[in-house]
Amino acid sequence: MINPIKSARLAAGFTLGEAAKELHIPVGYLSQIENGQRQVDPVRAEKIAHLYKVARDKIFLASRYAVREVSGE
């Protein structure tokens, strides 16, 4: 089963290498994201979604990227 991130990349017409180059990240890093082996921060998730021209919520679940709460104390 193809995951939503890979599916969006393919639908946008990018190879793994082309997408990684556009995102300025190593191919292996993007592959790990697609395979669920690496979490991404919200900013990178948004950049990936923007490149693929889909809403971030369509390809990433909130649990797929790390959001850290920072207290002012």
Asked whether residue 65 carries a pLDDT value surpassing 80, the answer given is no
Q: Are 23 and 17 in contact (CB under 8 A)?
A: no
d(CA 36, CA 38): 6
Asked whether residue 61 carries a pLDDT value surpassing 90, the answer given is no
Ordered structural domains, the chain, with CATH: 4-53 (1.10.260.40)
Question: What pLDDT, in 10s, does the model give residues 7-57?
Answer: 999 999 999 999 999 999 999 999 999 988 898 988 999 999 999 999 998
What is the pTM assigned to this prediction?
A: 0.81
